[in-house]
Amino acid sequence: MVVVGGRAHPDLTEAIAESLGTELLPTTAYSFANGELYVRFGESVRGADCFVIQSHAAPINDSIMEQLIMVDALKRASAKRITVIMPVYGYARQDKKHKGREPISARLMADMFKTAGADRIMAVDLHTSQIQGFFDGPVDHLWAMPLLAQYVRSRVAPDNLTIVSPDAGRVRLADQWSDHMGAPLAIIHKRRDPSVPNQVKVHELVGEVESRTCVLVDDMIDTGGTIVQAAEALFENGAKDVIVASTHGLLSGPAVERLKASGISEVVITDTLPIAEDKKFEGLTVLSIAPLIARAIREVFDDGSVTSLFNGNV
């Protein structure tokens, strides 16, 4: 087994290696003055089973390109098998054409990694499950829900809990949470107010949230707009408390200020992305995803079952 990591999230890469009880392959990586990237590995990888870890963090295009170059370097160095581990799959939200003349960038991502030499992809909580079909090879789709749900259980009495989907697109995820937690489900439906032209969406709530603790679940928090609006709708409908559970904390732009001012009591995310010090705030909890990824790597290396890591993962 050979584990290599890019520069986007070294803390996570080192934590995964530590969980595996192995050392990272010595790597030289730097950027030229014009922004081009250079990577060279310090030891032979001939015949090795290689795992290339890189979070697609900002600047996202540099992170992706560096991982592609690492894969190419391993392929040209005669690695036996190359597994690309992207805790966050870049461009995952561009998984279909919403309008004419748009790209399907998530498919392009899969094609680029295949061309570079990847044999397998591993990712955590893809934005949509159909992305698994974009790559011509095995795709291990890891779930952070058991990790997040275990934490939520330690904080909230299950008999007063409601799982909430912040919009129609996350209903399937919220339904899985509802089954896993044994808690009722509520759905927030967003639509435009026809009586007010060019007006922001109004929210309609399906489900019972009055005097209950609501857990808003999503795969990622980017600018925080959707989550904060959903929380406002829950409070307006009598929710006692709102907790947010999300896998990927992008926390772009005004996200931190919005979340701090929202009345949400706690935001629970994983460390699939690095969280800068200026984005940490009271009420933010960051759980380590490293043990989950390390267990999945071990299963792949030992020709075991990644599916066995998750109850009901089919």
Instruction: Answer yes or no: 190 catalytic.
Output: yes
Q: Are 13 and 61 in contact (CB under 8 A)?
A: no
Angle at 21 between CA 15 and CA 23, to 5 degrees: 75
Alpha-carbon distances, residue 201 vs 91, 188, 218, 239, 267 (angstroms)? 25, 11, 19, 20, 24
CB under 8 Å to 206, separation ≥6 — which residues?
A: 186, 187, 188, 189
Exactly one of 190, 240, 260, 279 is catalytic; name it: 190
Token pair of 139, please?
Answer: 């795709």
Q: Specify the DSSP class assigned to residue 24.
A: B
Which region holds residue 31: left if phi is over 0, alpha if psi is between -120 and 50, else beta?
Answer: beta
- The angle, 0 to 180 degrees and rounded to 10, between the axes of the packed helices 10-20 and 290-301 is 50
Which of the residues are catalytic?
190
